[in-house]
Amino acid sequence: MRASLITPALRTELSALYRAEDRHYHGINHIKSLLGLLDEYRPSFSDPEAIEAAIWFHDAIYDSRAKDNEARSADLAREKLAGIADAERLNRIALTIEATATHTVPDIEPETARQDAALLLDMDLSILGTAPETFDAYEAAVRREYAWVEEPLWIAGRGAVLKTFLEREHIFHTDIFRSRFEEQARKNLRRSVNVLEARSGS
């Protein structure tokens, strides 16, 4: 096992970002949840230490009013991990972070790195396939992060996002997470879309 790329000082610095008061979902508990999944599925990763770094950085910059959070988070990773990870590995980490903007597997080499990225993207979406009460708490927390958005715009925008996932052939990229979360995720998303449509009167 290779050494962690996240030094104690860096973990402290990033933890402070994730503990900001406006992070109702994209906070430290989200990071801990992903790290728990990484530990659970560690043998499935070719470079788990790189994915650990991607987890820590993927939401490091989070402003619900901005559209470039993932790109800025990737830039922060490039800055903070320079000299810790070699250039090729750091580039893979940054591209994996950027991929969380669209949850589309990035075109990176080698194939094992793409598989690692796919697993991370699936872990990031695993909340969609949790028990209904956990999913509802997640939806409520995200709404609080977007409290500045007026209700009609929220209903339209959130509904569109959820429908995008439902329209995919598969929500999850990997068999590992598809078998564990896909069925429940579709139930949760359909129910949430129905609630939003009822609130909109459509």
Q: What confidence category does residue 200 fall into, taking pLDDT thresholds of 50, 70 and 90?
A: confident
In this predicted structure, what is the pLDDT of residue 202?
A: 58
In this predicted structure, what is the pLDDT of residue 55?
A: 98
Over the stretch 110-130, which tens digit does the pLDDT of each residue have? 999 999 999 999 999 999 999
Over the stretch 124-162, which tens digit does the pLDDT of each residue have? 999 999 999 999 999 999 999 999 999 999 999 999 999
0.85 surpassed by pTM:
yes
Asked whether the beta carbons of 58 and 100 are under 8 A apart, the reply is yes
Q: How far apart are CA 40 and CA 52, in angstroms?
A: 13
Over the stretch 72-100, which tens digit does the pLDDT of each residue have? 999 999 999 999 999 999 999 999 999 99
Over the stretch 5-50, which tens digit does the pLDDT of each residue have? 999 999 999 999 999 999 999 999 999 999 999 999 999 999 999 9
pLDDT over threshold 90, residue 2: no
